[in-house]
Amino acid sequence: MTVQVRPDRELGWTRADTIRTAVAVAVAALLLGLAGYLAATDGEGLGGSNAALMLLIGAGLGILFERGRYCFFCVFRDLFEKKNSRGMYAILVSIAVGMIGYAAIFSTRVPTPRGDNIPADAHIAPVSAALVIAGLAFGLGMVLSGGCIAGHLYRLPEGHLRSIPALCGVVVGFGLGFLNWDFMYSHFILGAPVPWLPAGNGYVLAVLLQLGALVAIGVWLLRWNPQVQGRGNRTVDATELRRVVFFKRWPALATGTGVGLLAILAYYKDQPLGVTQQISSLSRTGMTEAGWLDQFMPGLDERLAGCVAVVTHTITTNGWLILGIALASLAAALPGRRVRLEKATVFNSSTAFAGGILLGWGAMIGLGCTIGVMLSGTHAFALSGWVFGAAIVVAAGLGFRFGLHRKAAPGAFSD
């Protein structure tokens, strides 16, 4: 059989590359310098002793998100629109790797898992209608705005200008969520069960079950797996290395493993991954000071675990994580010539803003986003992670089928 091999495009080195690389190095230096400063001062008044670590974990995530295209919007769009499931495997692998690490950490902290000793710091949330509604809103907001919240954080440095109105919308959406919270909490969430799969079953069964589910999904997704383009014989020289590291998308397996490992590290040292806590704190603190919110929010301030805000006047480790994602994404995108300003119009900005509101509202009521509830939830063997994820997939699937992302941003999607 003869195989058509498309030769790799010549990379070359232009003057613009010199500038891009210089900026990337400067950003990387800034990141490392900041981490060094936080480590030296022990994060005094700036998030505490874990600030430097979380900044670096954020940086790692930023690189993985950007280079591995670990973006729920892109992955679901590929799946539902282009019938290409390849990106899904990064998500599946990241869940598998992370949950095994979580199981190891849990087993040392809670040797006998029961329903009444659920680890309070993990993102294990009540499963109720509110969670489903939040997931649907979040999925729809993702399609409309062109990314989930973590996606916007890393796609903004790539030049995705719609992320700016989208993130503004997220802040507003959080505010609306806080205003609706009392209603949603008292009608749906209060008294809802908090299924934690290891409870009463042990960690082994929980791990096996989730692995089984992931494998089943993985096997099923093989049906939408287009042919892989071959590449010619090549030697690994400097150019090839540059191509593989900065230009080619990183393999799903490597990306997923990396995200899973960082999730374990984050939970072990500080708190589960999530990107919404600091943003929602911004909304909440502002609204509390303006007198629109009570100081105390029932449920939220009592026993619910999630990636949602406390009233704060300082940057938290979660803020450093977000900053790490954005800066590292920029540094990783630049050398691969992946920073391109996309056109932002009044129309596509307003749809991004509206989508952002849905994202923020969903993340508030659902107590987190794709990262905080879905990823960190499934890692922690919480049924809530699966339910939230399923709701997002359903909403995103419908959204992409009806082409809402194209209607929201005409001309943005060429292929």
Partner 1 sequence: MSTEETTPPTSTGTRKGAAGKTAIAVIATAALAGTAGFVVANSTNDGAETPTTGSGTTAGEAAATVTDVEIPGENRGFDDVHTDEPLATTDWLAERLDEGDLHEQGIVLLDVSENLPNSDLTPYSEAHIPQAQYVEWSEEFTQPNTREFISADEFTELAQSLGINDDSTVVLYGDNNNWFAAYASWVFNLYGVEDVKLLDGGLHKWELYDERELVEEVPAVPAGNFEAEAQNHDIRAFQPEVLELAEENAEAGGEAAAAVNLVDIRSAEEHTGEIGVDPDIFQGEGAAIWGHIPGSINVTWTQIVDEETGEFLPAEEIRALYEDAGVNFDNPTIAYCRIGERASHTWYALSQILGEEVKVYDGSWSEWGNSVGVPVANTSGQRAGLWGQSGD
Which residues form the interface with partner 1 (CB under 8 A)? 111-112, 114-116, 120, 193-202, 205-206, 208-209, 212-213, 216, 219-220, 222-223, 295-296, 301-302, 311, 383
Q: Check residue 342 and give left, alpha or beta (phi > 0: left; psi -120 to 50: alpha).
A: beta
**Cβ 309 to partner 1 shortest distance, Å:** 13
Tokens of 287: 């609204």
Instruction: Tell me the three-class secondary structure of 318-349, residue by residue.
Output: HHHHHHHHHHHHHHHHHHHCCCCCCCCCHHHH
First to last CA, the chain: 30
Tokens of 254: 């490597």
The residue among 296 and 413 lying less far from partner 1, judged by its C-beta, is 296
Q: Say how far residue 368 (Cα) sits from the centre of its chain.
A: 10
The residue among 15 and 223 lying less far from partner 1, judged by its C-beta, is 223
The residue among 296 and 347 lying less far from partner 1, judged by its C-beta, is 296
Q: 196 by DSSP, 3-state: which?
A: strand
**Cβ 303 to partner 1 shortest distance, Å:** 8
Contact 83, 104 (CB under 8 A): no
The residue among 370 and 384 lying less far from partner 1, judged by its C-beta, is 384
**Cβ 356 to partner 1 shortest distance, Å:** 29
**Cβ 13 to partner 1 shortest distance, Å:** 44
Task: Single out the residue of 124, 123, 130 nearest to residue 362, CA to CA.
Answer: 130
**Cβ 113 to partner 1 shortest distance, Å:** 8
Any alpha helices (H) in 185-276, and if so which ranges? 203-221, 238-242, 252-269
Cα–Cα distance measured from residue 12 to residue 34, given in angstroms and rounded to the nearest whole number = 33
**Cβ 116 to partner 1 shortest distance, Å:** 5
The residue among 114 and 269 lying less far from partner 1, judged by its C-beta, is 114
**Cβ 90 to partner 1 shortest distance, Å:** 21
The residue among 12 and 111 lying less far from partner 1, judged by its C-beta, is 111
Give whole-number Cα distances, 345 to 67, 158, 162, 396, 399, in Å. Answer: 27, 17, 9, 23, 21
> Which distant-in-sequence residues (6+ apart) come within 8 Å of 189 by Cβ?
126, 128, 130, 299, 304
Q: How many helices (H) and strands (E) does the chain have?
A: 16, 0
**Cβ 383 to partner 1 shortest distance, Å:** 6
The residue among 307 and 383 lying less far from partner 1, judged by its C-beta, is 383
Q: 382 by DSSP, 3-state: which?
A: strand
Angle between helices 277-289 and 346-365 (to 10 degrees): 90
**Cβ 285 to partner 1 shortest distance, Å:** 12
The residue among 27 and 380 lying less far from partner 1, judged by its C-beta, is 380
Q: What count of other Cβ atoms lies within 10 Å of the Cβ of residue 49? A: 15
Cα–Cα distance measured from residue 9 to residue 33, given in angstroms and rounded to the nearest whole number = 36
Cα–Cα distance measured from residue 323 to residue 58, given in angstroms and rounded to the nearest whole number = 7
The residue among 216 and 241 lying less far from partner 1, judged by its C-beta, is 216
The residue among 30 and 190 lying less far from partner 1, judged by its C-beta, is 190
Tokens of 282: 């911004």
**Cβ 202 to partner 1 shortest distance, Å:** 5
Q: Which amino acid is at 36?
A: G
